[in-house]
Amino acid sequence: MTHDIHIIGGGLAGSEAAWQLAQRGFSVRLSEMRGGGDMTPAHQTDGLAELVCSNSFRSDDSDKNAVGLLHHEMRKLDSLVMRAGEKARVPAGSAMAVDRDVFSAEVQRTLDEHPKVTVVRERVDALPSEGPTIVATGPLTAQALAESIVKATGQDRLAFFDAIAPIVHRDSIDMDICWIQSRWNKRNEASNEDGDYINCPMTKDQYLAFHQGLMDGDKTEFREWEKDTPYFEGCMPIEVMASRGVDTLRFGPMKPVGLDNPRDTTPEFPQGRWPYAVVQLRQDNKLGTLWNMVGFQTKLKYGAQVELFRTIPGLENAEFARLGGLHRNTFLNSPVVLDRQLRLKGAEHIRFAGQVTGCEGYVESSAVGLVAGMMAAAELAGREWQGPPRTTALGALLAHITGDAEAESYQPMNVNFGLFPPLHDVGKKQRKEAYTSRAKADLAEWIARGELVAA
């Protein structure tokens, strides 16, 4: 064996794990099937760490938001994903969004140039029988390897549907109708001067017609074996949300609050008044030429998408760089099949990382890859692993995956304060700040104890 550890899967988690191990001096073989003649139903390139759905890493506020806190912790642990994200960052208000092509290229370049990493374009069809391994093949694991995992775990695969939002060419948006503004005019260092979102306003009649169009639109047919597969609540197709009530979208991705339409002014509202509903688009690349429709994941057929989305004010002549789509994701029942160090019970030489463990979201997937890499490095160095405190975002997420969650109802989960040990003596208004302050202090203490050192 010419490498210390084999990582299967070059997505966010696999790339992050490879970086953490290589930085600690261990040689890594990183196997990625894309570029070797195979592709998944959702990917479009063979680039490492390709972002398939949104281009957003969500909130970057580390003082009041759980995912922002996770950003902070990953930066403290020298995350490759956070490094590349900063170089590829595009305006998105208080969120962290990236140019997906620049981001993937930066991850690819960093790992290609690392002397301890060998990227091999190959499909792996079975779990290795020996040798340290991290499986980070994500929710679109190839069929042969998925069957090998099922055989090894003795558990049926769990599955859910994940949906992709459309991307629109910026120059096809009618800015005589739309305007640029961030909700409540929130800004960060990467923000554009006027705001970070293009807003398409709707009157009540336009909204009701659009809602009906979602209900009536021609949708993807499911295979018989897919019909009982649940959606993930954090990435719900817009027509499924619409089916829950006529106003559901107005309190979700199409909420108008905090957005003042400058073309609808009166003496009483000189800055403009809130529309009845709003469709928002967020910048998707550094050039600002591509914008994605926020929250518009869909299972409408392509023709129905084009017809309906061009009824949105300002998008009448929209040209789509990518239409929405739907794919099936699979994940392990991790509380049952994995130990506290993400190792497969009964085959401890194999670890799992990323979305296949049942975490949800780009940042969470990367974070689990980061921790898996650190765990493997400690084991290779002959050190006992002491994980991050459960009061941290990393520790809370890891605890959820490896045992805190109910196995019978285990579902993909974004990081959130509900996973943290509770604070009972803090008022509700101060609770988020208290969670993040405690986490930052505990992480700093954990780092000071030398947990980042491999040997």
Is residue 295 part of an annotated ligand binding site? no
Q: CA–CA separation, 355 vs 156, rounded Å?
A: 17
Ordered by start, the domain boundaries in the chain are 5-157+332-448, 164-328
Q: Is 37 annotated as a binding residue?
A: no
Domain 164-328 fold:
Elongation Factor Tu (Ef-tu); domain 3 (2.40.30)
9 is in an annotated binding site: yes
pLDDT reported for residue 227: 65
Q: Is the pLDDT of residue 193 over 90?
A: no
- Let me know if the fold of 5-157+332-448 is the same as that of 164-328: no
On average, the pLDDT of the chain sits at 90
Q: Structure tokens of 385?
A: 């692993």
Residue 12 Ramachandran class (φ > 0 left, ψ -120 to 50 alpha, else beta): alpha
Do β-strands 95-98 and 56-59 pair in parallel, antiparallel, or remain unpaired? antiparallel
5-157+332-448: which CATH number, 3.50.50.60, 3.10.450.50, 3.30.1330.10, 3.40.1180.10? 3.50.50.60
pLDDT of 54: 85
Band of the pLDDT at 190, cuts 50, 70, 90? low
pLDDT at 157: 62
Confidence at residue 226, expressed as pLDDT on a 0 to 100 scale: 61
Say if residue 10 carries a ligand binding annotation.
yes
Q: What are phi and psi of 263, to 5 degrees?
A: -100, 10
Residue 14 annotated as binding site: yes
* Predicted confidence (pLDDT) at residue 263 exceeds the cutoff of 60: yes
- Non-local (6+) Cβ contacts of 186 within 8 A are 93, 94
- Is 443 labeled as ligand-binding? no
Alpha-helix residue ranges (DSSP H) falling in 256-340: 302-309, 334-337
pLDDT band at 414 (very low <50, low <70, confident <90, very high): confident
Of all residues in the chain, the percent with pLDDT exceeding 90 is 66
Task: Please determine, for residue 10, whether its predicted confidence score (pLDDT) is greater than 60.
Answer: yes
How deeply is 7 buried, as exposed, middle or buried, from its count of CB atoms within 10 A (0-12, 13-18, 19+)?
buried
Q: Is the pLDDT of residue 228 over 70?
A: no
Is the pLDDT at 451 greater than 70, yes or no?
Answer: no
Please say if the pLDDT value at position 189 is more than 70. Answer: no
Predicted confidence (pLDDT) per residue in 346-378, tens digit: 999 999 999 999 898 999 999 999 999 999 999
Kindly give, in sequence order, each residue whose CB lies less than 8 Å from that of residue 69, ignoring residues fewer than 6 positions away: 62, 392, 393, 415, 435, 436, 439, 440
**SS3 assignment, position 419:** helix
